[in-house]
Amino acid sequence: MGKTLKWMGIIIGGLILLMILFLLIAPMFIDVQKYKPRIEEQVAEATGRSFAIGGDLKLSLFPLAGLAFSDLHLGNPEGFEEKDFIFIKSFDIQVKFLPLLSRDLQVKRFLLEGPRIFLEKKRDGRTNWEGLGGPSKEGLKGATEKSRKKGGEEPDRGLPIKGLAVGECAVRDGQVLWIDHAGGGRWDIKDINLELRDVSFERPIQVDFSGKYDQRPLSLKGQIGPLGEEPGKGVLPLDFLLRALDELNLSIKGQITDPSTRPQFDLALQVESFSPRKLLESMGQALPVDTRDPQALSRLALKCNLKGDPQKVSISNGTLDLDASKATFSGQAKDFSRPDLKVEMSLDRIDMDRYLPPSSGKKAAEPEASTGSPKKKTDYAPLRSLVLDAEIRLGEMKIQGAGLQDVLFKITGRNGLFDINPFSFKAYDGDLLTKAALDVREEVPRMSVNLEGKGLKINPLLKDVMKKDFLEGTTDAQVTLTMEGEDAERIKKTLNGKGGVQLKNGAVIGIDLNGMIRNVKASFGLAERAVERPRTDFAELIVPFSITGGVVDTPDTRLTSPLLRVAAAGKADLVRETLDFRIEPRFVATLKGQGDTKDRSGVLVPVLVRGTFASPKFDPDLKGMLKQQLEGGIPQLDDIKKMLQKDDTQDGGDAKSPKEAIEGLFKGLKIGK
């Protein structure tokens, strides 16, 4: 029995020795170069690209199983600028042979020298990586049938190795070139080096990446793992820090669970304060928007937690610093084929005017003449599939010059219908509440708006927004509007609605209705005007209105003051921007204290307001005045004489005869021509 075991040991030892000798000698007699054409053919067939190995293949089997080659070229499809898609200067891998017998993979060297990757996008949108590595239709069909026969699932056999240990593992002197012929961009990252250390199943793998973009450094350092006994299953920790172009520092820390089966992630993301403007400038790119403030978008910092899987993502504990603004936010997104979004944000303050396009300083241009090409329609399909639930709160906001406080904005949407309820804020000592609905189910969007304002000081609002000073008072308003269209012209043409505005304890600045009655010639340009800017004070101004097709109609506007009553009626055409109003003021008592001691009760002098929004014209309606006087009885000549003489003497002129005064007044007004 002992001799048998002895001889069996000798035989097994001899076989092992012969095997080792074979592994050492075999590469000397095997001409691996003759396999190059076969390898090139197989790779070219699999990728659909030209493939060539310029250098010699080198093969070793013992004590290290190794393969090395150089000058590898994987070509680009026809029509692209670069000849190669991938070029590799040299590749060398060495694996210990004997541990493989026990499924223990021990890699002494994995070295990739001088890889070059050329990514290119043509003007028509085609890229040079399209169609690369996709499975054939026959392969997909076979896999489907195989899956069906086995109940739809492949048995999970795990990795074919039990252990892993890698010594030298590196990519050196690499380059990635990106050429975008459509957008005109060109990025070239050079001096790429990647080193992996402590590569095993039991310890975290150390990652060290570096490169240069336009001679400015890029780096990624950190660790991932350990991979565990079953890589791809269980918890995979990671911790990385990215530094880019001396501007951006981004850290990401957390874990990925079951990455190969049901991947889930739980990550903490932090972006240290940097300047988006400078970052893009360092990349040779301009900001995608031109801002009114050249210093806008000069500071950005972000911090949040990300959690989710391929079907949904949630954001929590988010903080954002943008220039002088600070925000907290959270949200979630799911069902990415039909996006379902929920967002909550709270912002302390923001000046939106900083981020608007610069003002051209020109007046609004007239619609451009048609060039013959139809205007491109907006595609609302993404909005029709969007599900949205958002709430935004702002402490202070400035927009178009208006200062707002305690802003609350809520919007919900589904199937192309969006409700804004509410959009509310405080401004100019008052409150404003808006409810709106947007319908984009059809090609032309439709919108309805309900607005209610209470206690707004109208004068500072007009000064801030319109840079105008023509009205004072405390405003209450209720407005209901409907409209449709994408451009301003169509919106104005389809504008319909009704409402009312009430102003209390205010003034109309630029119009002196008192003077128009007391001193017709001075008020309407027939004599030298006073230096002081005219104004008409009032206790209450009520403006009910309706809008039809962009034409505002106010049939019963009323202004009241202790001495004056004014009724106005007319229309304002928002499309043509024209005015057509008739104002009828009437004194209630005397003008004592304003240069007049006589009783003017019942005296009516209508005023016509015509012209355009930009250049309104005010004229006395003397024809209407005389008509109403005649309807009440023919005035006496002495009364007309006294009225006109009073007008002249207040201007410092000499008294005239009634005939001269009337002829001069009508001649100056050019009535009847």
**What does the pLDDT look like over 505-563, one tens digit per residue?**
888 887 766 665 555 444 445 445 555 677 778 888 899 999 999 999 999 888 887 77
Instruction: Say which DSSP state 162 is in.
Output: S
Q: Calculate the dihedral angle through the C-alpha atoms of 305, 308, 314, 317, rounding to the nearest 10 degrees.
A: -20
Distance between CA 645 and CA 647 in Å, rounded?
Answer: 5
Q: pLDDT value at position 38?
A: 85
pLDDT value of residue 279: 87
Query: What helix, strand, coil percent values describe the chain, rounded to 5?
Result: 20, 45, 30
Per the prediction, the chain carries an average pLDDT of 79
Q: Any idea which of 111-115, 197-201, 510-514, 593-597 has the lowest mean pLDDT?
A: 593-597
pLDDT value of residue 626: 60
Number of neighbours of residue 459 by Cβ within 10 angstroms? 20
* C-alpha pair distances (Å), 366 with each of 193, 319, 373, 616: 58, 44, 18, 19
Confidence of residue 669 (pLDDT cuts 50, 70, 90): very low
| Residue listed under structure tokens 């505005």 | 501
Contacting residues for 495 by C-beta, under 8 A, at least 6 apart: 481, 482, 483, 547, 549, 550, 574
Query: Which tokens go with 95?
Result: 């694996």
Q: Which tokens in the block code for residue 6?
A: 């002895």
The encoded tokens of residue 247 equal: 């501007």
pLDDT of residue 529: 52
The answer to whether 409 touches 391, Cβ cutoff 8 Å, is: yes
Q: Reduced to 3 states, what is the DSSP secondary structure of residue 227?
A: coil
Instruction: In whole angstroms, give the CA distance from residue 584 to residue 605.
Output: 6
pLDDT digits (tens, 9 = 90+) for 197-236: 998 888 999 999 999 988 889 999 999 989 887 888 889 9
Picking from 23, 94, 87, the residue whose alpha carbon sits closest to that of residue 55 is 87
Of residues 603 and 626, the one with the higher pLDDT is: 626
Cβ–Cβ under 8 Å, residues 260 and 269: no
d(CA 201, CA 159): 12
Tokens matching residue 118? 């050329």
- What is the pLDDT, as a whole number, of residue 604? 58
Domain ranges of the chain: 470-629
Cα dihedral 266, 270, 271, 272, rounded to 10, equals: -170
**462, 469 Cβ separation under 8 angstroms:** yes
Find, among 299, 305, 338, the residue nearest to 321 by Cα: 299
Measured CA to CA, the distance from residue 467 to residue 255 in angstroms comes to 55
Strand, coil or helix: what is 332? strand
Q: What is the CA radius of gyration of the chain?
A: 42
Angle in degrees, CA 652, 655, 659, rounded to 5: 135
Average pLDDT over residues 459-464: 87
State the burial class of residue 637 (Cβ atoms within 10 Å of its Cβ: 0-12, 13-18, 19+): exposed
Convert the pLDDT of each residue in 291-308 to its tens digit: 889 899 999 999 999 999
Are the beta carbons of 178 and 128 closer than 8 angstroms? Answer: no
Q: Reply yes or no on whether the pLDDT at 644 is more than 90.
A: no
Q: Which two tokens stand for residue 250?
A: 């981004």
Confidence of residue 593 (pLDDT cuts 50, 70, 90): very low
The span from the CA of 200 to the CA of 219, in Å, is: 23
pTM of the model: 0.71
- Of 46-50, 518-522, 611-615, the poorest mean pLDDT is in 518-522
Determine the pLDDT at residue 467.
Answer: 83
Contact in structure between 662 and 641 (CB atoms under 8 Å): no
Confidence of residue 662 (pLDDT cuts 50, 70, 90): very low
The token duo for 630 is: 């005649």
Angle between helices 658-669 and 637-650 (to 10 degrees): 70
Sign of CA dihedral 143, 147, 153, 156: negative
Question: The tokens 């389809």 sit on which residue?
Answer: 494
Q: How many CB atoms lie within 10 A of CB 155?
A: 6
Q: Which residue has the higher pLDDT, 476 or 641?
A: 476
pLDDT reported for residue 34: 75
Question: For the residues 58-71, what does the mean pLDDT come to?
Answer: 78
Cα dihedral 63, 65, 69, 73 in deg (nearest 10): -170
